[in-house]
Structure 1
Amino acid sequence: MQSLLLVSSPAPAAPAAPAAPAAPLPDLRRLCVHTITTKPWPIEVAAAKFAAAGVSGITVWRDTLAGRDIAATGRLLRERGLAVVSLCRGGFFPARTAEDRGKAIDDNRRAIAEAHALGAPLIVLVCGAVPGQPLSESRQQILDGIAAVLPEAQAAGVKLAIEPLHPMYADSRSAVNTLGQANDMVEQLRSPHVGVAVDVYHLWWDPTLQAEIARCGRLGALFAYHVCDWRTPTIDLLNDRGLMGEGCIPLRQIRAWVEATGYRGFNEVEVFSTRLWATDQDDYLRKIVQAYRDHV
């Protein structure tokens, strides 16, 4: 396969005036919860509990599907009244050897097949990185990897969302660390099946965020929006996210920027937290719903 050349676009000019913060959401019609958020629950339990709490959508992590009939699981979720919003996760394309890059591409093809069987219209890509390998090289491998699996995604009717991760993950989890970099890749790939997942945990700090969200909207590429909060101090680089309202992220300000693009999709609650996983999950789910009403 001919390699695509990764280029960077000039940074967009900042909008003349910031948008006002968004108003509180009137109901739970756009509330989606990731299975990883309530990690202790098997997917069947999560589906029943989410539906009973008024949650409208579910994003499924691939580990919850192990040993299950994926198509039957998708039917179960829909029978509970839950929209299957997306499948997490694909990606991890960079590797030092062609053999390992090929294995990553094969795994992403399996993810596409799983999403199709589940009835998920979208796969979130945590794109990967290799410690010690130049980030520019990893980004090129990411671009090439997405291009390699794009025909299968198109054939399956499954979209791919590049999720830029916070720079603290640039060593091994993702060489895509700003929304600007993700938008650049979308422009290079030029496919309606490739877009971006905006996660506030990873992007809230970026001074170009408002402008890049607007650019993402102009590209028609804002496929997903993930919410949680940034705790101070953060005691674990992976598993210490906060529930909305527990931290410093301006959630309603960012949602206003997202909705200014015309986005009216789900607000997806994605929380990795050893602290919260150790609590009573029924009580935790009640807190998720309340935090969504109060802070998202």
Structure 2
Amino acid sequence: MNLDRCCVHTITTKPWSLAESVERYAAAGVKGISVWQNAVEGMTHAQAGELIRKNGLDVVSYVRGGFFPHTSAEERAKAIEHNKKLVEEAAALGAPLIVLVCGASPDQTLEASRAQIQSGIEAVLPFAEQMNVKLAIEPLHPMYAADRSAINSLAQANDISEAIGSPFVGVAVDVYHVWWEPNLEAEIIRCGKNDHLMAYHVCDWKVNTGDMLNDRGLMGEGCIDIKKISRWVDATGFDGYVEVEIFSNIYWQQDQQEFLGKIVKAFEEKV
């Protein structure tokens, strides 16, 4: 895929500061950046946005909101207020959307967590609309269902997005989490028909992964047919950035400039 659609998440090159990431991404021909909250240090979000745009990059998304479910009503209220704060930060940064890792509680049923996720998003939505920031529900692999996200398939994300029925609520498709789904093509078509496909993330699933969170592969290192999924995504009319998001204890320990070179090569050849 052409680098004109290449975006890299700051978490991918976690050892770099935001300033270093921006400079290095731009020099490598990357056009977009998705900013994790922890990357904005020592400056305001408005200053961070200015720094990014000054270097010729687009702010693609702000990561990550969500974590709505709790058995305590007080904690659920805190989560809603926290997400409103994130919306405010995203607006200051100039990010058009926030990616939602929706959360789950092992102390209650998945159905209860899913209901709280929908009500939490609905509570944040009026403020998001006011601030012109979209909310993208990212389904996570079922291995995270206990405590990280009760939204574990693209079908579930589509269900909630459609139930809410707002142009400010959609889905983020991350191949790491959804590549295994038997009806994936149909669900991608579904979110495309409803104009709810807001983000597309790529990395790879290593067959002999050593860590379910922090051993993701560079595109082409694993078993995901990324090119096929990319064709399905493009067929919906989605022409936005393709975001490289790799959590890797292995790559974080390596020379990040060399790693960025590998990312660019893999993006052009494997996406």
Q: TM-score, normalised by structure 2?
A: 0.99
Per the alignment, residue 8 of structure 1 pairs with none
Paired residue for 1:128? 103
1:237 CA displacement: 1.1
- Could you tell me which of 222, 240, 244 is aligned with 2:215? 240
Map of 1:154 onto structure 2? 129
What pairs with 1:2-81 in structure 2 (closer than 5 Å)?
A: 25=1, 27-81=2-56
C-alpha distance after superposition, 1:220-244 (max 9, x if no partner): 0000000000001111010000000
Q: Tell me the distance in 2 between the aligned counterparts of 1:132 and 1:107.
A: 21
Report the residue type matching 2:181 in the other structure. D
Q: Which residue of 2 aligns with 1:7?
A: none
Question: 2:148 maps to what in 1?
Answer: 173
Whole-angstrom distance in 2 between the partners of 1:64 and 1:30: 22
Is 1:251 matched up with 2:232?
A: no
Distance 1:132 1:218 in 2: 36
CA displacement at 1:67 relative to structure 2? 3.7
State the identity %.
59
How many correspondences in the alignment?
A: 271
After superposition, give the CA deviation of every residue in 1:141-175 in whole Å (9 maximum; x if it has no partner).
Answer: 00000000000000000000000000000011100
Residue of structure 2 in register with 1:224 after alignment: 199
Structure 2: unaligned runs, 5 residues or longer: none
- Which of 179, 195, 215 is equivalent to 1:204? 179
Q: Which residue of 1 aligns with 2:169?
A: 194
| Secondary structure in 2 matching 1:243 | coil
**2:237 paired residue among 239, 259, 262:** 262
Q: Distance in 1 between matches of 2:154 and 2:23?
A: 35
Structure-2 residue corresponding to 1:85 = 60
Cα distance in 2 between the residues matched to 1:70 and 1:214: 35
Taking structure 1 as the reference length, what is the TM-score of the superposition? 0.91
Show structure 1 runs of 5+ residues with no match: 1-24
d(CA) in 2 for partners of 1:44, 1:117: 17
TM superposition shift of 1:251: 0.3
1:57 partner letter: G
CA distance in 2, matches of 1:209, 1:132: 30
Root mean square deviation of aligned Cα:
0.6
* Partner secondary structure for residue 13 of structure 2: coil
Q: Structure 2 CA distance, aligned partners of 1:47 and 1:171?
A: 35
> Counterparts of 1:251 and 1:281 in 2: how far apart (Å)?
23
One-letter identity of the residue aligned with 1:40: P
SS at match of 2:233: helix
**Alpha-carbon shift at residue 185 of structure 1 (Å):** 0.3
Q: Could you say which structure has the higher helix fraction?
A: 2
Q: Aligned match of 1:108 in 80, 83, 86?
A: 83
For the pair shown, which has the larger CA radius of gyration, 1 or 2?
1
Task: Answer whether contact 2:71 2:107 (CA < 8 A) is retained.
Answer: no
Which structure is richer in relative contact order (CA contacts within 8 A, separation 6 or more)?
1
